Structure 1
Amino acid sequence: MIPDTVVETGPPAGAGEDACPIPTKSAGAYAKALLDTERQRTVGAPGAAPLPVRSVGVVGAGLMASQLAMVFARQLGVPVLITDLSQAKVDGALAWITAHLEKLVSRGELNETAARELGSLIRGTVDKREYANCDVVIEAVFEELNVKRAVFAELEPLLRADALLLTNTSSLSVTAMGQGLAHPERLVGLHFFNPVAVLPLVEIIRTGNSDDVSLATACSLARLLGKTAVLVADTPGFVVNRILTRLFCELLQLIDNGTDIELADHALDPLGLPMTPLTLLGFIGPAVQLHICEAMHAAYPDRFYVSTSLAAIADARLRGYLDKSGRVLPEAAALLPAADVGSDAGSYADADVIKRRILDALAEEVGLMLTEKVVPGPADIDLCMLLGANYPRHLGGLTPMLDQSGASRRVWGKDFHPDAGFAH
């Protein structure tokens, strides 16, 4: 879940040469070429003919589900059906959609006739049997494997044999989700980013069971929605959440060990990222990020840390570590663990040392993702970070910055782009 933030096309305002560690022209040109090329067709998409999408079902009535219903209706112009366990939740989603349409009219983005027609395409019910004629059904329920399994187990007997099943999971195994289904080959991950209408990336998660028609339909659907799709292997966290969570885990471990919060949070400022890590965490929400950290720790316990302070902040229902102005919340500071006498906090009293540790951790994670063949190459990772995490284009995404900083060579003994000239 990434907030709507303007993507910078150059160094941060007022930044000097030291503040922008990437040669702007080469990295910017790399990003431009990447975006111009990759928006045409999904790399690795099968050549099978996609099935038509004439109606869509959305399981769930929360904010993400409501946004998905709006995007499907607006971009495809097809009927969209929302369900949830209670009529009150369904009514709440429909009310949000009505209010959002009114906002679009007030902004001049839609006229009243178009808004009425769009609203008429979306309806809600508690009866999942009404999904019987949907070409596509996507779930956007609570991020818990057993909950999602139960949803698909209930849905499968109600749907046509050729209906495409989609999950909007942000980190869970799609393969595990399909266990027990009669036709797991038609289940595909379609991970949208928040806000759905704004961020252009969709991670399409393929499994060992996914058939070519299902994948081709998912890729075609992403294009029809105006999204750029990256085909990703079914591994924990996929691309964007895996990288961002590794960043969070490194930062929060330092904070839990006694490193000054503000020093740690601003150590990456010279890179010109869209916002500081703790600001981003506030948008995501402590409880959501804690859940992702725990899932990633279960998969990779040696690299992904579960923060005691984040757990305490989530339990206290705070908005995060910072207030809306970016200052440390006193209530959050009070929940930080006391630094151990033998901790290495003193080793991280310098922003450059903190930045180096985090960049080295990201370089390690990127290299491991490429080894695991999560995506075909570093360009796919950069595309994901540019479009799903709003990384500034002057950075070229992520891997050019890791090369230029020296992190790639420190960790792997070589650059991710040895012939590109990012490192010098």
Structure 2
Amino acid sequence: MAHPDTPPTKHWDFSVDVEQIGWLTLDVKDNSVNVLSREVIGELETLVTHIENLGKAGTLVGVVLLSAKSGFIAGADISEFDQMSDPAVLPEALKRTHAIFQRIEDLRLPFVCGISGFCVGGGLELALACHYRIAVNDDATKLGFPEVNLGIFPGFAGTGRSIRQAGPVDAMQLMLTGKILRAKQAKALNLVDKLVRHPDQLRWEGRKAVLSKRKSEPAPLAKRALAFGPIRGRVAERMREEARKKARKENYPAPFALIDLFEKYGDDPKQMIAHEIDAFVPLMASPTAQNLRRVFFLSESLKRLGVKGKDKPKFTRVHVVGAGVMGGDIAAWCAYRGMMVTLQDMDMERIKPALDRAKKMFKKRLKTKQAVDAAMSRLEPDVEGKGIPRCDVLIEAVVEKLEIKQQIFSDAEQRLKPSAIMATNTSSIELERIAEALDNPSRLIGLHFFNPVAQLPLVEVIKSTLNDEESIRVGASFVLAIGKSPVVVKSAPGFLVNRALMPYMLEAVDRVEKGESPEQLDAAAVAFGMPMGPIELMDTVGLDVGAFVAKELGQKVPQDSRFAKLIAAGKLGRKTGEGFYKWEDGKAIKEKAPPHGNLPGLGRDLVQPLVDTAEVIVAEGVVESADMADIGMILGTGFAPFLGGPLKARQDGRA
């Protein structure tokens, strides 16, 4: 029951039972997840004072911290970050939170937390301030520090406490990569002390931990020794080398600032915590952090594009026509996400390579043979198309020939149930042309996936002049159901991503034709912030595909060009082992790039056609806003997230 003197709070519940155990439960109002907003932290401060007073009065033996929601705590409230980034506000707010967490750690009575669901960012930092941590060992429980994805690092004293518990190398890796751990992995790193099988066991185990006065032990000395003396400098330099492979310091300063902090104070967790705020504050207001927050909110906004409420459709069966690389990988991804999938092509010989690739992907992503076998059983070869009448979604992913696509949909329309989605994965043909063969052309939408399907999160949901809003919302719901991000695009040649990419890629190819080094051009694009250079990208897409899309967009490939000659010789890039580069084991074999005085500047010149075309696409209304163009290009091409997208970069004078 609630203690009579408990101060009233909006987001927390505190009660004391007959054994004098305090039960502190977080349930943030008007929010689907628990977040540590300034209001929530302010209320925690009030309750910590109350708990301290009860402890002094001898009427409380310990506290168990739990969540009333399915997840524990999803971190700080990101919606407050913009106002919090003010250097006049942020340091004091951080000092206040540091002090509250320290008071929890300093309590003389046991303070235990029970973790179910996600426990990330500030949520994990609060858990680490507790004396003992119990977590549910299931797939839903996730622990980690994803702050690096927002251009910062842990700021609620998580740097020092994680190093104390997990040791310097494991803790720093966790913070530098943003990797999310399962409960079992977190226990192996000493971030969790005990595992239970079910959330219902958290209260009982929390009670036992309080009554037994259990307390977590720090990492063993052998682990902590890697932060002592001169060895720490060498460890820090290795971390910098790894960080440089992934990002440039000027583009993503947070990992390098964290490594600097570790190099100075990593042998003393208390000193690391004491100096954490000084290193954290400049990052929060940096352009990188501001742009990454914008990208986060734009990504979240895409989740609202689907059907809401009781009318939300359910997708259990998918039928894919075309077992080539794209079709096969779409089918595999849907099976991986738990759907029953039938995969159709002309014969088993064409379907078998797709099944082999699927098994390889399942083995990589699913940890047990049982899970891999279950996923494979959901992916069924279907030469005769028997899955069509039963499916909720039909996706066509065959060769880019109008007549073939029209024939597939014309035949399927007669067999599909009325509620089924009918979708094409065309990369360039307008939907209106494909739909000419249909009795009800308004049924056909586009779902344009990107290669490799398992890695790229974007799916363009293509809306023709024949579609109504509802069919597009249902399409977006399906994209969200398979864990991808939908961006709605009007049916126009090349849609958004291909149309913006192609001038960028062809301009780079033209430079190679004129004698410039492909290695240097690729290095320049990467220095600018692209994940891959334009020549390597053309090889990855396939020179034949690039030439086809260029033709669809009205751009010519001269017959006497090296590009045309490579295609004529069957050297189509990565898939044939040679294009502009030779390829071995999926990697381009490159010569050393010649020196250049300003690689990022050259990269900026290279991306100009992409930025210019994105502006035209928005002006023509192909996407509804510059925001949608930016998030589409980031998710579909990996365009430098730290710049906020091509149009935000131009607005800021950085592209």
Same fold (TM over 0.5): yes
Find the aligned partners of 1:15 and 1:31 in 2 and give their Cα distance. 15
Which residue in 1 is equivalent to 2:317? 55
Which residue in 2 is equivalent to 1:80? 341
Q: Is the 8 A contact 1:206 1:232 kept in 2?
A: yes
Q: Of 287, 300, 309, which aligns to 1:39?
A: 300
Q: What per-residue deviation string (whole Å, max 9, x for no partner) do you get for residues 24-66 of structure 1?
A: 9224422323323432445766779454323110101122222
1:203 counterpart SS class? strand
Which residue in 2 is equivalent to 1:89? 350
Unaligned runs of 5+ in 1: 1-6, 298-303, 329-348, 408-424
**2:630 maps to amino acid:** D
Find the aligned partners of 1:17 and 1:213 in 2 and give their Cα distance. 44
Deviation at 1:230, TM superposition (A): 0.6
Deviation at 1:15, TM superposition (A): 4.4
Deviation at 1:171, TM superposition (A): 2.1
Deviation at 1:165, TM superposition (A): 0.4
Asked which structure has the greater RCO (Cα within 8 Å, sep 6+), the reply is: 1
Find the aligned partners of 1:353 and 1:33 in 2 and give their Cα distance. 25
Deviation at 1:163, TM superposition (A): 1.8
Q: Is the 8 A contact 1:256 1:309 kept in 2?
A: yes
Q: Of 579, 589, 593, which aligns to 1:325?
A: 589
For the structure 1 residues 15 and 125, does the alpha-carbon distance in structure 2 shift closer, same or farther, using more than 3 Å as the test?
closer
Unaligned runs of 5+ in 2: 1-147, 152-242, 254-282, 572-577, 583-587
User: 2:506 matched to 1:249?
Assistant: yes
2:286 counterpart SS class? helix
Give the greater-gyration-radius structure (CA): 2
Find the aligned partners of 1:391 and 1:352 in 2 and give their Cα distance. 14
Which residue in 2 is equivalent to 1:66? 328
Find the aligned partners of 1:15 and 1:34 in 2 and give their Cα distance. 19
Q: Is the 8 A contact 1:47 1:212 kept in 2?
A: no
Which residue in 2 is equivalent to 1:231? 488
Q: Is the 8 A contact 2:306 2:480 kept in 1?
A: no
Deviation at 1:310, TM superposition (A): 1.4
Which residue in 1 is equivalent to 2:439? 182
Find the aligned partners of 1:115 and 1:171 in 2 and give their Cα distance. 34
User: 2:554 matched to 1:306?
Assistant: no
Find the aligned partners of 1:38 and 1:386 in 2 and give their Cα distance. 10
Larger displacement relative to structure 2 (260-269 or 363-372): 260-269
Which residue in 2 is equivalent to 1:4? none
2:553 counterpart SS class? helix
Q: Of 156, 160, 167, which aligns to 2:417?
A: 160
Find the aligned partners of 2:557 and 2:598 in 1 and give their Cα distance. 24
**2:325 maps to amino acid:** L
1:179 counterpart SS class? helix
Q: Is the 8 A contact 2:494 2:553 kept in 1?
A: yes
**1:387 maps to amino acid:** L
Which residue in 1 is equivalent to 2:650? 402
Which residue in 2 is equivalent to 1:369? 617
Q: What per-residue deviation string (whole Å, max 9, x for no partner) do you get for residues 306-335 of structure 1?
A: 25221111222222212323239xxxxxxx
Q: Of 424, 428, 434, which aligns to 1:171?
A: 428
Find the aligned partners of 2:250 and 2:644 in 1 and give their Cα distance. 16
Which residue in 1 is equivalent to 2:547? 290
**2:581 maps to amino acid:** L
Which residue in 2 is equivalent to 1:145? 402
Q: Number of matched residues? A: 370
Find the aligned partners of 2:419 and 2:409 in 1 and give their Cα distance. 15
TM-score by length of 2: 0.51
Q: Is the 8 A contact 2:340 2:379 kept in 1?
A: yes
User: 2:448 matched to 1:195?
Assistant: no
Deviation at 1:395, TM superposition (A): 1.9
The sequence identity of aligned pairs, in percent, is 28
CA RMSD of aligned residues (A): 3.2
**1:306 maps to amino acid:** V
Which residue in 1 is equivalent to 2:391? 134
Q: Is the 8 A contact 1:28 1:393 kept in 2?
A: no
Q: Is the 8 A contact 1:12 1:272 kept in 2?
A: no
Q: What per-residue deviation string (whole Å, max 9, x for no partner) do you get for residues 189-248 of structure 1?
A: 111122212221111111111123321211111111111111111111111111111101
Deviation at 1:96, TM superposition (A): 3.4
Find the aligned partners of 1:95 and 1:311 in 2 and give their Cα distance. 32
User: 2:378 matched to 1:125?
Assistant: no
Q: Is the 8 A contact 1:170 1:191 kept in 2?
A: yes
For the structure 1 residues 122 and 261, does the alpha-carbon distance in structure 2 shift closer, same or farther, using more than 3 Å as the test?
closer
Deviation at 1:144, TM superposition (A): 2.2
Q: What per-residue deviation string (whole Å, max 9, x for no partner) do you get for residues 158-211 of structure 1?
A: 222332101112222122111120111111111112221222111111111112
**1:400 maps to amino acid:** K
Q: What per-residue deviation string (whole Å, max 9, x for no partner) do you get for residues 66-104 of structure 1?
A: 2211221222x3321111111322334334334443x23
Q: Of 629, 633, 641, which aligns to 1:381?
A: 629
Q: Of 437, 440, 465, which aligns to 1:208?
A: 465
